[in-house]
Structure 1
Amino acid sequence: MESISIMDGLMLTIVSMLTVFSVLLVLWGLTEMIAKFVNGSDKAEPAPAAAKPAPAVNTNNLAPNKKHQQVAELVALALASEDEPNKKLEIQESKRIK
């Protein structure tokens, strides 16, 4: 059996970690690109330069957000179908309750 020196082990560790991080960066980049293609139509319009500064955010008076609404609907469907996983559920109306 061949013994590995400390320097060889260190070099192997560094190269392995760089390989793993580079693969993770490539996967991250791919998911970001795919997200931009999929959600390309949901872009927010840029604010005009002469717009007033935004007021302080009050959590009680937040404007409805389509993505938040979809997440809430999916969570509600998941919770409703927990007991009966084969049952088909359909959302007929989605209303925000304060």
Structure 2
Amino acid sequence: MEAISIMDGLVLTVVSMLVVFAVLTALWGITEWTAKLVGKETPPVAAPQKNQTPVATQASQLVANPKHQLVAELMALTLASQDQPNKKLEIHVSIRIK
């Protein structure tokens, strides 16, 4: 078996790290590209009016988001069945409370 010098080891390490970073960058780019193709753009947020407070502006701009609603429902079910893992729960109505 041939011995590897320190310089050969360093070159191998640098090249290997560059390959890993290149693959990760390519995967990140593919993910971003796919998200742009599949995802929907969010509407721009309007600037707050002078007579409104920031809290009132945020509350008036909240819109129902199906993803957020699903996460809230799943968390509610998780918290409700935390002590009894075999208990089956079902959501009949989902109402947003402001």
TM range (shorter): 0.5 to 0.7
Shift in alpha-carbon separation, 1:4–1:21, aligned structure 2, 3 A? same
Residue 63 of structure 1 aligns to which amino acid in structure 2? L
Partner residue in 2 for 1:27: 27
Alpha-carbon RMSD across the aligned residues, in angstroms, is: 3.2
Instruction: Identify which of 55, 75, 78 aligns with 1:58.
Output: 55
Partner residue in 2 for 1:39: 39
Shift in alpha-carbon separation, 1:17–1:74, aligned structure 2, 3 A? same
Following the alignment from structure 2 to structure 1, what is the Cα–Cα distance between the partners of residues 54 and 11?
51
Residue 15 of structure 1 aligns to which amino acid in structure 2? V
**1:33-82: CA deviations, max 9, x gaps?**
22223323xx22346xxx6x336643983614403222212333444566
Shift in alpha-carbon separation, 1:35–1:84, aligned structure 2, 3 A? farther
Q: What secondary structure is seen at the aligned counterpart in 2 of 1:94?
A: coil
Aligned length: 90
Identity across matched positions, percent: 54
Ranges in structure 1 where 5+ consecutive residues have no aligned partner: none
Q: TM-score, normalised by structure 2?
A: 0.62
Q: TM-score, normalised by structure 1?
A: 0.62
Residue 94 of structure 2 corresponds to residue 84 of structure 1: no
Shift in alpha-carbon separation, 1:63–1:84, aligned structure 2, 3 A? same
